[in-house]
Amino acid sequence: MSDIAPHGLHHVTAIASDPQRNVDFYTQVLGLRLVKRTVNFDAPGTYHLYYGDAQGTPSTLLTFFPWQGVPPGRQGSGLTTATAFSVPPESMGWWQRHLTGLGLEIDGPHTRDGEEVLTLRDPDGLVIDIVAAPGDTRSGWDGVARVPAEHAVRGLYSLTLSERLPEATAEMLGGLLGMRLQGENGDRARFAMADGGAGAVVDVAADSGPRGLQAGGTVHHIALRAPDQATQARWREELIDAGLRVTEILDRQYFTSIYFHEPGGVLLEIATDRPGFTVDEPLLELGRSLKLPPWLEPDRDQIAAALPKLRVDEPASSS
């Protein structure tokens, strides 16, 4: 029997187009902190931007590969089609006013699976849900004046995988990946990790429509939490023994990772909680400058010259 039991969501990585527009939306509109400005280690000609809480805690992270000129993708089966963040229940009215006041189109608030949800899209079309989440004790990031601390996003809440054959995906999540079925509602099934609270939920939705197209405004992959590299290595062997094609353990500087696909095609990652984002810059300076892993440092000048300049407004605490 498998002992794989992820602690929750680690991060979500999506595809964007214009990096400045991406930074402006996620730092100023959603009020997240840019905790790391680095590059795609496999394609260093583009940024890899990480957003989260004050220190980039696992389960708060949404990251992007912003490729200039990338064509728009298409939501559909075989993709992660919604990324949900949690906010305090009493903040939903504030978020509705905040988003509409900025001219954004929103759907809701509406009730789904017993939860109050606001749905919007980022500038590239990525679907974002804001969920009223009672009991989420994470503090979020209070460094943006236009998002008061009491209303700040607390972190990731859940993900939605759209699947043509949801039973196969459900079998992997509930079997090999150690999640438990928390509930079913129509064509949706909810799977929980750890205590099943905010940041530890995956929804599987049946989708008989066209297969999605991964490009701008879609999720590239999702990552689950492993407590340490020794556990990650043991889980990797279990996945291989179960017949999956799994990558080697890859050094992502701020965590180590393995990757594999679930039956419907979504790319999954298992990432370690450590060493974290302060391994190469102080907490108060996270995200302010371009950071590169040691093996890319010899090419810093060439890499930096090829990247567009980014402007990130200095934090201004609202508390």
Other beta carbons within 10 Å of 247: 11
| Max Cα distance, the chain (Å) | 54
With contact defined as beta carbons under 8 Å apart, do 287 and 67 qualify?
Answer: no
* Predicted TM-score (pTM) of this structure: 0.95
Residues with pLDDT less than 70, the chain: 1, 314-319
pLDDT for position 90: 96
Distances (CA, A) of 27 to 14, 21, 143, 315: 16, 10, 9, 9
pLDDT for position 195: 87
pLDDT for position 319: 37
As a whole number of angstroms, the distance between CA 165 and CA 225 comes to 25
